[in-house]
Amino acid sequence: MKPVFVETASVQAGRASVARLEDTRMGQPGIGVFWGRSGRGKTEFARELAARTGAVYLRVLEDWSPRAMLAALCSELNGSEPATVDRCKRTACEALDAARRVILVDEADRLSVGLVEHLRDIHDLSGIPIVLIGEEILFPTLNARRRLWSRVTETVEFGPIGPEDIMLFAMKTASIRVDADAARAIASRSGGDFRLIWQDVHALEGMARANRVDAVDASMVEAIPARRAGSRALPSAGRKGARNGPR
């Protein structure tokens, strides 16, 4: 299978939200919150966006202290790792003033509220948009903090990968044509999880080669071994886009 990046509906919504954040006037709130279950493509979206646009990609590490987090940000910005929290913030703001770059914070659900407050300082001082990306708990955690949530102007929920995206993914990555019924069956058994979809498409690619065909139907999907016990389809996602609120 070839490595590909698929423009899912969630990815498109994320791109549009980041573009709106980049248009935010200096001094106006401009924090984004992108959330969704594991396997929905959030990390690949963030990495691809950073590689394509020059945005800062920062992956959260467990048990970060404020200085460790801010030093990691400075390292991404200009290679420095200041010794104190205050110096880190000053260095980061100076670097962002010299070259404005959106900051993408991946696995932000692992951050304590205190660490998010330090990122809010960077946002307030520099005027740079910050996008916090994480699993479902991120949304209610931030929503419960009025001082933080008042600065959130964009939200995107990364929902399950749908049948149309699965058909496109299979064609691009494995050069196999998955019909609509087969795509719906893959979506159902995977719960829209890209990792599980990858496994199914990989299995179907092997079947297609063994049978010397380039098309896949629902009967071939049914022939894939069942998931381990406990696997189930996940509910569809709803909201995405801009949140109405104070700016």
CB atoms within 10 A of CB 202: 14
pLDDT at 104: 98
Do the beta carbons of residue 220 and residue 206 sit within 8 Å? no
Q: How many C-alpha atoms does 40 have within 13 Å on its Cβ side? A: 24
pLDDT in tens, 178-207: 999 999 999 999 999 999 999 999 999 999
> What pLDDT is recorded for position 96?
96
For the chain, domains (ranges, CATH) are 9-159 (3.40.50.300), 163-222 (1.10.8)
Mean pLDDT of 66-81: 98
Q: What mean pLDDT, rounded, does the chain reach? A: 90
Look at residue 233 and tell me whether its pLDDT is greater than 80. no
Contacts 24+ apart (CB under 8 A), 209-213: none
Residue 109 Cα distances to 120, 136, 141, 221, angstroms: 15, 8, 8, 34
| Dihedral sign for Cα atoms in the order 131, 132, 138, 143 | negative
SS3 content of the chain, % helix, strand, coil (to 5): 50, 15, 35
Q: What is the pLDDT of residue 7?
A: 87
Query: What is the per-residue pLDDT for 228?
Result: 55
**The pLDDT value given to residue 236:** 38
- Longest CA–CA span in the chain (Å) reads 64
Q: What's the predicted TM-score (pTM) here?
A: 0.84
pLDDT at position 246 over 70: no
Among the residue ranges 129-133, 135-139, 233-237, the one predicted with the least confidence is: 233-237
